[in-house]
Structure 1
Amino acid sequence: MSKKRQILIDTALELFYRNGINSIGINEILKSSGVAKRTLYTDFDSKEALILAALHQRHERFIDWLENKLLDSQSDTQVIQNLFNALASWFDNQEPELGNFRGCFFINTSAEFSDTGSEISRFCYQHKQQVRSVIQRHLHNQDPLLLESICLLKEGAITTAYMSGDSHTVIKHCHEVSRVLQERLRQPTVSE
């Protein structure tokens, strides 16, 4: 990848994540990046192509980050603790590879595109499916209720932390709910 192409993607990702996609125009990306318009259109045939490149880069960074955070988890309890501790660190702007916390870039992006069949919306959905797969690979208990609950808690935590600005309370509640869920999953079911 050329250096200028990478600068364009880095600049677009930073501006899109900080300000939203529809509020950032090509000229602002060019001005911030210092790259000429001709170069931009040599590498990207449209703003949508640049958006997809930015989404792809964020996806790779987030998946690598998440894999590293869950890597040493020896139990489901550790997976859950590591996941929500990592989120808490991100919410507190302590994860440099993810940048300052502005909610989920994929949720934010998909909210700006009303056509759920668009390539951008599909990419955002695929990102969420890949995040789910990463979490599932690290869990020992393959009960679908556990995975679904963790993923819903994670999504709710990201959104609530961003909207409320109270990440500590959000994470505390996530740990409490996941503890209760794990206890219930360990209890034998009573057949009728």
Structure 2
Amino acid sequence: MTLTTSTTTTPTIPASAPAKQQQLVHTAFTLFYRDSIHGVGINQILQESGIAKKTLYHHFASKDELVLAVLAYRDEVFFSWLQSRIHHAATAEALVQNWFAALDDWFHNRVAELQEFRGCFFMHSAAEFTDPAHPVHQHCAQHKARLCRMLGKQLGQWLDIKSAKKLADDLCLLKEGAIVCAQVQGNKKAARQAALIASGLLRHL
């Protein structure tokens, strides 16, 4: 399987959102992704963004509200980027190729809108909020499920519903493993290794 690369434009928070709200979310995401949610305080976000505390609390009643807004932002950026990478695939094999080519680009810092690769923000966030009933943890789980549904829908162009769901679940599992290997072990070839496994799965459907 040959992995290909492409360039994409940077998604933003909806233009209808106030500029300072956008700035707060962008700044908070960068800090949370780099230093963890619990490792970053409100004052650091305010200092980095240059925005007054009163303005922050005008848009977000608490840090938890800001965290949820950041998760929603990252969810939309990541979802839109990954969907754009597989949307135009002409075959199931091409879709699988594009899925892992996208991850390979991310691992090698070729996707500007995702920032420097530091693993999965949703994995990190769920690990900080371990209670499955917590809104942050639930948002992270919903993000993962959303990606699998999107992938299954795309695969449904060529496969029956049951096969499309099974393959989507398997590809998402490979994606998660590749992300962990790339971050924790520094194995930046993980996406390419996962792509080879995925090709075998597709042949045996």
Q: Same fold (TM over 0.5)?
A: yes
How much has 1:145 moved relative to structure 2? 2.6
Work out the CA distance in 2 between the residues paired with 1:146 and 1:9: 34
**Mapping of residues 41-190 of structure 1, within 5 Å:** 41-139=57-155, 140-141=158-159, 142=161, 143=163, 144-168=165-189, 170-185=190-205
Q: What secondary structure does 1:21 align onto? A: coil
1:20 maps onto 2:41 in alignment: no
1:141-163: per-residue Cα shift (whole Å, max 9, x none)?
Answer: 23133122111001111111111
In the other structure, the counterpart of 1:188 is none
One-letter amino acid matched to 1:135: L
Work out the CA distance in 1 between the residues paired with 2:143 and 2:166: 20
TM-score (norm 1): 0.93
One-letter amino acid matched to 1:175: A
One-letter amino acid matched to 1:167: K
Cα-Cα RMSD: 1.0
In the other structure, the counterpart of 2:55 is 39
Percent identical among aligned pairs is: 39
Work out the CA distance in 2 between the residues paired with 1:91 and 1:173: 13
How much has 1:47 moved relative to structure 2? 0.4
Q: What secondary structure does 2:110 align onto? A: coil
Work out the CA distance in 2 between the residues paired with 1:49 and 1:171: 34
- In structure 2, runs of 5+ residues without a counterpart are 1-16
- In structure 1, runs of 5+ residues without a counterpart are 186-192
Q: Hey, which bits of structure 1, 4+ residues long, moved more than 3 A?
A: none
The answer (yes or no) to whether the contact 2:175–2:191 under 8 Å persists in 1 is no
TM-score (norm 2): 0.87
In the other structure, the counterpart of 2:26 is 10
1:20-71: per-residue Cα shift (whole Å, max 9, x none)?
Answer: 1010000100000000011111111110000000000101111110111001
Q: Return 175-184 or 117-126, whichever deviates more.
A: 175-184
